[in-house]
Amino acid sequence: MVYSYNMEKPTKRGLGKGFEALLPSDFDKSILLSPQDRIEKIPINKLSPNPSQPRKHFEEAALSELADSIKQYGVLQPLLVTPQKNLYIIIAGERRWRASKKAGLEFVPAVVHQRKELEQIEIALIENVQRVDLTPLEQAISIEKLHEQFNFTYDDIAKRLGKASSTITNIVRLLKLPKKAKEALTTNKITEGHARQVLALINQPDKQEFLLNAILKNNWNVRQAEQFVTSLKTGIKEDKKASARTESETKETKNLSNKLGTKVTLKRMAHGGRLEITYKDDKDLARIISLFY
């Protein structure tokens, strides 16, 4: 037996709860095409995993924990399925389905879409990622929807978007930024380049916070942020010492600039660094070289 739920008003309380219990506030409504789409209560033995599902391993301990939660609270987020003959193929939610079986449920809530409808949603999400007005974080969220809701691997998404896999992975990693850094990136107070340097310190939240504050308060450019991260990775633990190494000019470079009559800057790297001497033209270059002989 299948119980249908309308977006506007539940037609029957098949699970003993109202629509909001089935469709919590954090449920992604983009998988529903219209207000007329419904959530159905589907027999668990009528569901089948997607054969093209890239995820093949499900940790038993985690499934048991989810099963215990489902026993207590039910399935809070519906599965996404498509009909095929006498079965429903799971597009998203196989882990919830497996845990529901362990919990002994006979029915689970699911959003049902035909293949054509799913293709329309996929196309809409892909087009959304390609919009030029999206912020990096908005792009990351759209990509993650394709990954989580349609079981696309990041390699699949990269091919569909015509981008390198590493580009897609790097965009999605922005979702791991601390909340304050996400807000700064969204409001254009920092660039994507800055954000990547903050991410490089993901296992050092105190250093992440220091770096973000330095970028915001001292107007550090991406190069300075990179040098700060490099300094920490070379073993410098003190924030002030690492900050000092972000400076491209030191007392020594200024003295050398005066002697050579041109700008001299310093760039530190993980091992050693680079001294950069600026010259105007070939004649100026010859002049500077002659000073070393």
Please choose, from the candidates 215, 278, 207, 291, the residue with its C-alpha nearest in 3D space to the C-alpha of residue 242: 207
Cα–Cα distances in angstroms (integers) from residue 19 to residues 10, 33, 44, 114, in the given order: 6, 17, 20, 22
Residues in the chain, overall count: 293
d(CA 75, CA 106): 12
Q: Quick check: is 106 catalytic?
A: no
Strand, helix or coil at 112?
strand
* 266: β partners: 275
* 43: β partners: 107
The CB density around residue 179, as the number of other CB atoms within 10 Å, is: 7
Q: Which amino acid makes up residue 208?
A: Q
- The predicted structure's pLDDT at residue 263: 86
Domain 3-113: assigned CATH number: 3.90.1530.30
Which residue out of 40, 59, 94, 119 is catalytically annotated?
A: 94
* Domain 3-113 shares a fold with domain 118-175: no
Given a contact cutoff of 8 angstroms between Cβ atoms, the answer to whether 89 and 48 are in contact is: yes
Strand, helix or coil at 268?
strand
- The predicted structure's pLDDT at residue 4: 35
Strand stretches in the chain, DSSP E: 3-6, 38-43, 47-49, 79-84, 87-92, 107-112, 264-268, 273-277
Q: pLDDT tens track of the chain, all 293 residues? A: 333 333 333 333 333 333 333 333 444 555 444 555 578 899 999 999 877 655 566 788 889 999 999 999 999 888 888 888 889 988 778 889 999 999 999 999 998 887 776 676 666 667 767 766 678 888 888 888 778 767 778 898 888 888 899 999 999 999 999 999 999 998 889 999 999 999 999 999 999 999 999 999 988 889 888 888 888 887 766 656 556 556 666 777 778 888 888 887 777 665 667 788 888 899 988 888 888 88
d(CA 52, CA 47): 15
Give 5's DSSP letter: E
d(CA 58, CA 160): 27
- The predicted structure's pLDDT at residue 5: 35
Q: Which fold has domain 118-175?
A: Arc Repressor Mutant, subunit A (1.10.10)
The domain limits of the chain are 3-113, 118-175, 177-244, 251-290
Would you give the end-to-end CA distance of the chain in angstroms?
A: 93
The answer, as to whether pTM is greater than 0.85, is no
